[in-house]
Structure 1
């Protein structure tokens, strides 16, 4: 007997289609933004609000939904609402409704394909509140907890989504408790005395699921998590404040509010330190890489008209911490079409349906004459189900080395900085981003794979490439997204797209940009000079790498030895403090141990540290701290034992001295033997290497030119031509041999003359690096000064405009909370501007008699709000208050503001219970002291260098440089206290020697 059965759907199907299908949280946001685009939104935004719990919202001003559309489309998985019906004739009513939905916008190509994009909201967080409104219809709101769909024992039909209609926005918040209660009926059942069949199924399903989770070792069950989220979640007025509909800017739109948000969104809050948590850094980078440039920024007007662009569509991401908002992503791209076309290497054109590229090329800053055509390297599929279709391509880049670029140094530095943040090769469909192309680690077009075979010839690099491929759904129907938005479905069309783009990149690199290109050979410097420069650069890099490897090896070797010596030193110190130092034998025995430890300390030296320590910095700082502490303790022990010996006046003074002489000599002999053995081994190795190079170079000329003898013998080349080639190769080989052996002999002669080549190279390298850094610093500082001048001037005018505008508001507005918030913020800003006015570069340079009291009062007023909440005590001695100097306030006030601001930062990061900053005057000098951790001895030589800072976050390394520059302009001197007698507090102590100051 034949029977028929239908599929039954478990609730977990929704979880599989939603959260588990989408690659990650940022991709889920992009899917929801595309839904907003399909709903003819002009604006869509992701807002992340702090709180317990944190809330994220996605708000748009699209056409929205009414109750029927929500229940029959949004809640129907795989709905046909996204299918393009452009070929189906519309009724007059349908046409009117479609035009109303567009709200004056041109028709848009639908981005959705499978009707499951809305389920990606499960990837943002567990609890979702959907609020939507269509014009002429009431609001509709629904509440969903996606974890309901994780229960494998529930059927999909058992889960009911609570939904409510209302007319005014003010009605929503009072309705939320009832929505929460109805939502929990999916966990607790209906709550009525008489239980329905559904109630029994739900209770049994959750009991089985909780028992299973407990048996598997889960600490908290899914049911308890749902209960905690629903009870703890509070949606507030501020969570709705950025929705255009809520603001009254439109009468339609949709909002998704999410509680119990994913880590990727929570990582955006400033309380997380990406310097300490790599997961936070990765989350922030992934969200930025995914959502920045969501719409194609490289469009021209022709492409817009052809339908390659998403017009009238703005996206942004904002984080809200209290009333403070921080924009993560704005709707303006820092790299647009004009920026790209200004780069020195550009490929700009389109690929037709036959796979032939037609366009223009810019190389080394100059556009080539005429149109360039590049045919495909392989056959292009022509079948309807596999053809690629026409598409547009626009990419640009710049030279990697400053000496080869056609850009000015300023433009080159700017492009380098932009490349670190924004370089990527993206794919767009109808103007919206196709994921995950353009994100770090994605190399769909195999750019880095080709580059790894020959970097110079293949030229293109993802790390400095800007641009995109632009597709259209209408012309490229076979290029479809995977369900999880992890790229294009890997069909024949996608493979052909990769081959076509790869062929364009390969051809342009070899013909116009790479090392094999004729243009490069004509433009780049003479071969001999380039060879010398390349060898010098290689030598510098090799020296830098060698120094870093040696330093790392020394550090790895020294740290465990230092730990052992440090422990033994502490034990020795403890024994010295408890021993009877009046006995000669005891003191002599302790001195022998002390000498052994001092000799062991010599083995913990690591040499001079590289300028850029990178990942070694934290270990090196710990090493320095421990080494310094151990040396100080050894000196203290030595002083104690020496004093004890002087008191005892030992009878065996000669024997003690002779024993120490033998011990020191043995130590020196041991070290000398090791160095001599290492040097001899290196000399033997080098002799063998020189012999091999000599033999190899002896054969090189014959190997290169012998084929020419055969050519002249068989008449393939004339004797004259062969003679020229033989002579040319002789000169080239002689040059290469000279470059190989002359520097080697010169180095040996230098060693013979006892010239320290390593020290000389290190000094020259450090000096060159420092000069380069200094030039960059001066450029940055000049730009900073210009920026401050311009911004300061503009802010004065804007402040006056705001003040006038605030005063002109009607009284009814002045009573509102929003007005009061703006007014208070404006007053605080004006107060800060008033205090910062002495920092301006221009304006009158008036000198006045500045007293310590005036300075102290100024600093107190400037920092009063900052210090009151952190328990910092700012004090001044009577000596400081009486000090005076006839100077410009603009020269003196910023110095004290910077010094006190730095001190406040470090006392907050100190282990000291007392947080104090003191201004004092001692021995005709001003002292600014604090109870912070102080400045490490090795950092003091760089303390006043521009952009040097030890602050993990918020430090720019400009303050102390400006302090010294400001004071030097008046003949005054600032330095870090080297004389401990001038230290007023145990932390950092800065000494200022004011020229012409009075100390009464």
Structure 2
């Protein structure tokens, strides 16, 4: 006798062993990884996308694929042992000439998980040099308990030309439907009976209705069309509702979406640098732009995130109950050893397990990170926090999931956070197991974690004891060692001080913003009142017999308004750096005030002269005295106001100091008599002495952190040093240093990107040019009108690139004499289309045309391209669009001016800073590079509003020789 296998046994081994959707996808991705794929994809094509009549689901990989023999002898044979042997293959055609990989699968049944995804299914697979292999099947056929495996036909076809797939697919379906031709078994019993008759009807109906629509066919063709194509694809015609619903963004589905994402993210270990780079994606194709589901919640962790951890654990469990490694508290690292107290047993040896775990506080005040870094790691922790397990750099599910706290962190913390400290929701990191080191830590057959055997229980016991002991040693409210708590208190104090400083800065910012908002109204009121008084004065002075008493009140009011004029401009706090928008508004306000003063001053001076002519010397002397006194009064008023504020603040601080000091002394002395009277033994004296000393130290620390620093600060204050200005200066220096560091980093990345783009462009250009040459040989193609346009347009692109190409190779160019006429001709050619479109006029002097400048040609071309490109942008909305090029022979200065927007005074220097731009989507690189390149050529460039140069009243640039005076 021999065993016979019912068909439903395969169903039980496959879909019956899959816990959930992410597990099913992961099992198929594992097979792709084992087949040396670099890209593992899931694609949901929603109904309506590119005209699709229904939804489709596709799982694909670019692995080595399968031939007919591979499909028959491996894929259709369950429980193949090639993976479980864990033997490394040699680098060869079978590894796609890649580094050999340790297999992720081991049971030989992971392929059956495709049944979980829906029905029916079409598998397409291709090996290099072999034709495309196709398999069509509906896994529900296996649910029939009357069928044996040898009763079932699985249709397989080789497809020589993927473009004929539609026809081949029809034949595959016909072959599959032969499974239903037989109605009775050998005992003459019906094969399909009862509810299974309904199942049969559904399978036949869905098979007959299964079609490969055009969008799906195009996707398949693009994947397999080339001769060297390879890989495997599973096309599911009726995906389960859970898959289809992943594209919905309703609040009801958010939990399921998050569950799928949290299980599929971090497929291979991102926490450490790996030589094998695997890309995973889950693309949703709908009527909107396609997007990657796995990226919809933000980036996952990477190795550099450990640098952002407040606490970092890095070490190894030895498999016997001992941990050795390092613990980092903020910026301090200490070696740490832990030995489990459990009974040792050789049978519970689980092998070495490295651990790397980061931990961050839930409050910014307890972190040393700046706001940007803290928010970056906080966002990742909120989405992906957890303790992951990776076997041979491959994620083991469900570890790391938000609901799978397998070491019970939250359960312990809920009992007493001050003792157990660690929260599962605040940690990120992994345990690194391997098939070789940890052979007894095996997956459950259901893929729902590791088998709960003796080795797993021993490891879990050791890990739990380790974290409990570690918390007691360093992190508990009253730890055995105060290293961490001291650092935490120090950090919280620093952050508290910074928070208070930020609050003060915010208040100053709010006040400054309010003054900016109030300014227009104040100026308008001042202007209206001033002009009214001038009109009244003018009217009075028209009277021939005017007396001083008739104009005295008007002159007094005008003097008062003159004194108020100074206070109309909002005062910028010294510690606060205004935003660009606020600077812009302030600049406009100052312009408006200056225009007002320029307008009213001549009239005021004329009326003053008229008053002097009309009034007696005695009257004028009285008026002068009153003006003098008003200046004295105004100064006294300001000084007295600030003295009053000083008195009030001093009184408040004195009072507050006394109250705080009294509270501290009372806290130390309130139980003195009670303790003394309760002493009856020597042991109590020792105990109470320790308690009193501990309380004294605590209160002294509080005084040292609050009262004494304030007094020390006041002692250091001096009329000779503006503390606000000093603090503002240091803050500005810090902001500048941080800004420059970001510039340096971004510039390095930009340089690399430019090199890559330039390299790729050259390769792409060569390919297109070669293809055009070949096509041109074909008379039929070359005679097509559109081809002529294509060739002509490509030639224009080539000409533009020829203009740009020297700009990428400045270092190899030599300096030579370049005339202004040459520069002008180059600019006209480069901006030919824009000059024509915007009717731009070039005003070029003969002195500029004849001037020779000794410089590298790419440098001077880059300078003029950047400046004129900006000019064209800022002149777009002007009626007259003029660009002026001039050379002043006396001062040896080149002038580049335009009739566009005028540059505000405060921006004249700032526009040359790297990444500073006022243009939408501007990069702020051009003028910075121009200045740097000119400086290397012993030239300098500046922007100016000096009317000597800026005759067009727009933006104006001056290029001159660097001399000892302006170095």
TM-score between the two structures when normalised by the length of structure 1: 0.55
Task: Answer whether contact 2:814 2:856 (CA < 8 A) is retained.
Answer: yes
Change (3 A) 1:431 1:735: closer
> Alpha-carbon deviations, 1:389-434, whole Å to 9, x = none?
xxx999646799999999xx9xx99977964875543399998999
Q: CA deviation at 1:983?
A: 0.9
Higher deviation after alignment, 753-762 or 735-744: 735-744
Task: Answer whether contact 2:297 2:383 (CA < 8 A) is retained.
Answer: no
- Specify the SS of the correspondent of 1:981: coil
Task: Answer whether contact 1:245 1:253 (CA < 8 A) is retained.
Answer: no
The answer to whether residue 550 in structure 2 is matched with residue 550 in structure 1 is no
Distance 1:817 1:252 in 2: 43
- Specify the SS of the correspondent of 2:959: strand
- Pick the aligned partner of 2:851 from 867, 880, 883: 883
Change (3 A) 1:331 1:668: closer
Task: Answer whether contact 1:425 1:467 (CA < 8 A) is retained.
Answer: no
The answer to whether residue 692 in structure 2 is matched with residue 692 in structure 1 is no
Change (3 A) 1:677 1:422: same
Gaps of 5+ in 1: 1-29, 71-80, 102-131, 141-163, 173-238, 257-263, 268-284, 302-310, 351-356, 376-391, 440-444, 478-499
Q: CA deviation at 1:881?
A: 3.0
Q: Which residue of 1 aligns with 2:86?
A: none
- Specify the SS of the correspondent of 1:980: coil
Change (3 A) 1:168 1:742: closer
Q: Which residue of 1 aligns with 2:820?
A: 852
Task: Answer whether contact 1:245 1:251 (CA < 8 A) is retained.
Answer: no
Distance 2:237 2:844 in 1: 55
Max Rg structure: 2
Task: Answer whether contact 1:907 1:931 (CA < 8 A) is retained.
Answer: yes
Alignment of 1:436-515 (within 5 A): 474=446, 510=471
Change (3 A) 1:341 1:968: closer
TM-score between the two structures when normalised by the length of structure 2: 0.56
Alignment of 1:190-339 (within 5 A): 243-244=219-220, 249=225, 295-299=264-268, 314-316=281-283, 335=300
Q: CA deviation at 1:872?
A: 6.0
Please give the root-mean-square deviation of Cα atoms over the aligned residues, in Å: 7.3
Q: Which residue of 1 aligns with 2:588?
A: 625
The answer to whether residue 531 in structure 2 is matched with residue 563 in structure 1 is no
Distance 1:876 1:55 in 2: 61
The answer to whether residue 922 in structure 2 is matched with residue 964 in structure 1 is no
- Pick the aligned partner of 2:957 from 990, 994, 1000: 990
Q: CA deviation at 1:928?
A: 2.9
Task: Answer whether contact 2:365 2:495 (CA < 8 A) is retained.
Answer: no
Task: Answer whether contact 1:510 1:516 (CA < 8 A) is retained.
Answer: no
Task: Answer whether contact 1:349 1:359 (CA < 8 A) is retained.
Answer: yes
Q: CA deviation at 1:756?
A: 2.4
- Specify the SS of the correspondent of 1:136: helix
Number of residue pairs matched by the alignment:
747
Alignment of 1:763-842 (within 5 A): 763-785=729-751, 788-789=754-755, 792=758, 796=762, 799-800=765-766, 803-804=769-770, 833-840=801-808
> Alpha-carbon deviations, 1:856-894, whole Å to 9, x = none?
333444444566666666664444333321012343333
Change (3 A) 1:606 1:338: closer
- Pick the aligned partner of 1:939 from 907, 913, 935: 907
Q: Which residue of 2 aligns with 1:18?
A: none
Q: Which residue of 2 aligns with 1:602?
A: 567
Q: CA deviation at 1:691?
A: 0.7
Change (3 A) 1:634 1:820: same
Q: CA deviation at 1:541?
A: 4.8
> Alpha-carbon deviations, 1:894-948, whole Å to 9, x = none?
333332333344445xx53445544433453223333443333333453333333
Distance 2:480 2:770 in 1: 61
Task: Answer whether contact 2:914 2:928 (CA < 8 A) is retained.
Answer: yes
Change (3 A) 1:519 1:296: farther
Task: Answer whether contact 2:263 2:397 (CA < 8 A) is retained.
Answer: yes
- Pick the aligned partner of 2:605 from 642, 659, 665: 642
- Pick the aligned partner of 2:383 from 404, 408, 425: 425
Change (3 A) 1:799 1:700: farther
Distance 1:534 1:930 in 2: 54
Alignment of 1:352-751 (within 5 A): 363-364=327-328, 396=358, 419=377, 424-426=382-384, 474=446, 510=471, 521-522=482-483, 538-556=496-514, 558-568=515-525, 571=528, 584=541, 589=554, 592=557, 596=561, 599=564, 602-608=567-573, 618=581, 621-646=584-609, 649-652=612-615, 653-699=620-666, 714-716=681-683, 737=703, 743-751=709-717
Alignment of 1:85-96 (within 5 A): none
Distance 1:933 1:508 in 2: 68
Gaps of 5+ in 2: 1-21, 33-38, 61-113, 121-137, 159-164, 174-207, 226-231, 239-245, 271-277, 343-353, 389-393, 404-408, 434-442, 450-460, 544-550
Q: CA deviation at 1:975?
A: 1.8
Task: Answer whether contact 1:138 1:166 (CA < 8 A) is retained.
Answer: no
Change (3 A) 1:366 1:676: closer
Task: Answer whether contact 1:399 1:405 (CA < 8 A) is retained.
Answer: yes
The answer to whether residue 937 in structure 2 is matched with residue 974 in structure 1 is no
Distance 2:727 2:420 in 1: 29
Task: Answer whether contact 1:916 1:930 (CA < 8 A) is retained.
Answer: yes
